[in-house]
A and B are shown apart, each in its own frame.
Chain A
């Protein structure tokens, strides 16, 4: 058991070493890491609540209070409840604002709509007067979450079903292949817009539909790889040594079959992010109050003179998607045991 684990760690370390050699993969990881950090600290970067405020002799840290209220640990203090800090700050003794002192979802107090980039609003405002920079920072959370959740659902279903079909063949393959065909034959985007238009818009609904409809590519790849690898002599050797089916599938076949799936998964994250923005562009993606890169872009569609609404979210999508693609591409080379030492 312990020997097995040491071996597994060895493989992980080898992949990591290989991955660091791929310059594009490193670039992708750095960008994704930076985006993840921005997403994690989005509330500290863009918030309409200050870090620190001194008001009538009392000092507060509204950003932290916001977290505590969210966790249900306390209520907002009397003087601060349901007040706008941009108004309170005028009478405050000291106030320390985040770099982007606006909320992603609440319109700025000035109410300036379609304001081009300026010193107040670095990336302008949208049609409701919401700060675009704040929207982009908080939109990272939505996009990264959508990409990861969708692909996690797709990969779990796809690898499990594809592996079973490819390994066992026969009736199992026949039945599962019919299921794959059903899923492959479903006009996915059409199904998505139907569900999105008919049901109440929700970000979770989008994730679930994209996850449940998009796994068949991975399943077919894994099935094909399992079919190929199953026929190799070393699998027969493992079988003759009495290894269980599960062990052969997971330990012996999967490592040789996983490479195309990782390429597929990296494209999957990209495609999920693109699909969400496409749905938002059509106006049926996320609910109106949720700010995503796609929903900012959708406003630009009907207001083409507001170029900042098109350029910045477009660039954000572009950078994120490219980073995932580069990472996946490098991962493919690093995971491939046959490329070691070349």
Chain B
């Protein structure tokens, strides 16, 4: 097990390099180099007055900037340099405002991760019972109703619901039950008691978490239902019933435990969706998380920030995959490692 875990962790390194290289290549293969876009877009607003100077000066500035950013080097060299800086925990500086990228990400990362983790817990808490209820009497009226209802929630475009929530429940002409966005109240201070601080943040995060969660348990609960039904057809369930194990115990123990194994592996597939979904949700509710930062960075072609976020979210996802696989290896004794793959 320990050997398996170590090997899995070591294998993450090439995977991570693969992902970041793809991200790096896409950004550098894009038409126009970042400096051009930067000089024509980001700085055109008059910052440091480049737009007012002569063309020759602009070209000279561009060449200097290219050299400074290492963009005059081949792409492989640039990538290796980027990795080298990454190893020294240096994510580079933003093209937009020359701030270190890490300083921009650090305060935002916990926000997005908090929303994602809370949503993940709620998703499983809803999906597992839903899947069980659906599977206990397949095609019963309850199953039909649950199926129809979760499909309806799943089919709702989150941005659409988000806009409707803002219009109807966040001030405006209707109900002012929730704040229209942001993470904290304007008068928030760290002097507040812990309870009050938590209360304020929950008040602000309620709708974003609701929206992140809404419908996202559909897939999970369908897999849960599939897994339960799959197990229900297995011989050991028939055996359990035949020897007089109470139905409650057949479902709650024999079927449930085996079905949960399938649910563990799916967690890895959900994380990227949660992080990706944060782009839209954080935009709707003006939440200062990495989704919003990423969207702004992409639009401003602020490629050091884009790359850093690319690396950060893929790192988190890989971590999720690793933990899911290790958990699977722990809970499922049938899976033997090291033999077939070594």
B residues adjacent to A (C-beta < 8 A): 11-12, 14-16, 18-19, 22-23, 26-27, 30-31, 144, 147-148, 151-152, 154-160, 163-164, 167, 219, 222-223, 226, 233, 265, 268-269, 272-273, 275-277, 279-280, 283, 294-295, 298-299, 301, 306, 309-310, 313-315, 317-318, 321, 340-341
Contact = CB atoms under 8 A, between A and B. Distances in A.
20 contacts: A169-B340, A170-B341, A178-B18, A181-B11, A186-B23, A187-B276, A188-B276, A189-B279, A193-B298, A199-B31, A200-B31, A260-B223, A267-B222, A281-B280, A282-B280, A304-B167, A310-B163, A317-B157, A321-B154, A325-B155
B151 A189 contact: no
The 4 closest A-B pairs by CB, nearest first: A189-B276, A321-B155, A198-B30, A187-B313
Contacts of A325: 151, 154-155
Interface in A171-209: 173-174, 178-179, 181-182, 184-191, 193-195, 197-200
Interface in A296-342: 297, 300-301, 304, 310, 314, 317-318, 321-322, 325-326, 329, 332, 338
Nearest to B15: A181
A227 B18 CA distance: 25
A185 B298 contact: no
B163 A300 contact: yes
B272 A184 contact: yes
A188 B314 CA distance: 9
Contacts of B301: 197-198
B14 A310 contact: no
Contacts of B152: 318, 322
A198 B15 contact: no
Contact of A314 (B30, B154, B157, B321): B157
A188 B313 CA distance: 10
Nearest to A197: B298
B312 to A, nearest CB: 9
Contacts of B159: 277-278, 281, 297, 301
Contact of A190 (B11, B164, B276, B299): B276
A147 interface: no
Interface string A157-176: 00000000000011001100
Contact of B14 (A178, A197, A263): A178
A303 to B, nearest CB: 11
Contacts of A152: none
Given A187-B276, A193-B279, A338-B233, A260 B226 contact: yes
A338 B163 CA distance: 45
Contacts of B157: 274, 277-278, 281, 297, 314, 317-318
B81 to A, nearest CB: 21
Contacts of A310: 160, 163-164
Interface residues of A, number: 52
A270 interface: yes
B15 A194 contact: no
B189 to A, nearest CB: 33
Contacts of A300: 163
A194 B296 CA distance: 11
Nearest to A318: B155
Nearest to B18: A182
A224 interface: yes
B155 A182 contact: no
Contacts of B26: 191, 194-195, 198
Most buried by B among A178, A182, A259, A267: A182
A220 interface: yes
A233 B86 CA distance: 49
Contact of A186 (B22, B144, B268, B306): B22
Interface in A259-297: 259-260, 263, 267, 270, 274, 277-278, 281-282, 297
Contact of A282 (B11, B219, B295): B295
A327 to B, nearest CB: 11
Nearest to B37: A198
Nearest to B32: A198
B329 to A, nearest CB: 14
A232 to B, nearest CB: 13
A217 interface: yes
A188 B30 contact: no
A17 B146 CA distance: 25
Nearest to A171: B341
Contacts of B313: 187, 190
Given A181-B318, A182-B22, A197 B299 contact: yes
Given A178-B15, A184-B268, A322 B321 contact: no
A24 interface: yes
Given A181-B11, A326-B151, 18 more contacts: A173-B340, A190-B275, A190-B294, A190-B313, A194-B298, A198-B298, A199-B30, A267-B222, A277-B157, A282-B283, A297-B159, A297-B160, A301-B159, A301-B163, A304-B167, A318-B152, A321-B154, A329-B222
Contacts of B160: 281, 297, 310, 314
B108 to A, nearest CB: 14
B279 A190 contact: yes
A186 B318 CA distance: 9
A43 B18 CA distance: 46
Nearest to B340: A169
Nearest to B265: A224
B315 to A, nearest CB: 8
A184 B279 contact: no
A186 B314 contact: yes
Contacts of A24: 144, 147-148
Given A184-B269, A322-B151, A189 B277 contact: yes
A29 B78 CA distance: 52
A326 B265 CA distance: 25
Contact of B317 (A185, A220, A297, A318): A185
Contacts of A184: 268-269, 272, 317, 321
A190 B273 CA distance: 10
A81 B149 CA distance: 52
A185 B268 CA distance: 9
Given A187-B314, A325-B154, A169 B341 contact: yes
